[in-house]
Amino acid sequence: MLKTLEPQVAQILENTDLEVDIRLKKVCDLLKKSVPYYNWVGFYFKNGDKQELKLGPYAGEPTDHTIIPFGKGICGQVAVSNENFVVPDVAAQDNYIACSLTVKSEIVIPLFLNGENIGQIDIDSNTPDPFTEEDERFLEFVNQKVAQIL
């Protein structure tokens, strides 16, 4: 199912008539709308030279977590590890920052530009343990396409 979204993601991101943030927001909206267990979809980006992430475009409930220090929470850990992080059960994570009581699981995939981790795509799900390797590969594809327009 996720594979079928790839052409739509590419089409959105390649639309140079729209600003980058608008394209990213449209991708978030598409993923949230199309994948039943993607309940919150957003991008975080490195905040200048600071050791923190800043919230970018997203789709879902508003979040208080607009700035996340490196190392804090799942997103902050990915900023340091440069590796995908799939959390089947957020309640079992010591270093988890709760965005919403309804969130049961999370997946975070780093976004690389010229080999540097400049951000990530973050997805929260209200479904326990829904993420598979297919989600990881699909979100890596999304990030590769995003990197091409940054």
Question: Which residue type sits at 37?
Answer: Y
The predicted-structure confidence for 32-90, as pLDDT tens digits, reads as follows: 999 999 999 999 999 999 999 999 999 999 998 999 999 999 999 999 999 999 999 99
pTM equals 0.96
CATH number at residue 94: 3.30.450.40
The predicted-structure confidence for 66-76, as pLDDT tens digits, reads as follows: 999 999 999 99
Count of structural domains, the chain: 1
Domain ranges, residue 96 = 2-147
Q: Identify the three-state secondary structure at position 45.
A: strand
Side-chain half-sphere of 125: how many Cα atoms within 13 Å? 20
The sheet carrying 40-46 orders its strands as 67-69, 52-59, 40-46, 116-125, 105-113, 85-87
Q: What is d(CA 144, CA 10) in angstroms, rounded to the nearest whole number?
A: 10
Instruction: Give every CB contact of residue 144 below 8 A, 6+ residues apart in sequence.
Output: none
Tokens read off for 56: 């970018």
Q: Which residue has the tokens 């957020």?
A: 90
Tokens read off for 132: 């598979």
DSSP string of 99-149?
S-TT--EEEEEEEEETTEEEEEEEEEESSSS---HHHHHHHHHHHHHHHTT
Tokens read off for 72: 């804090």
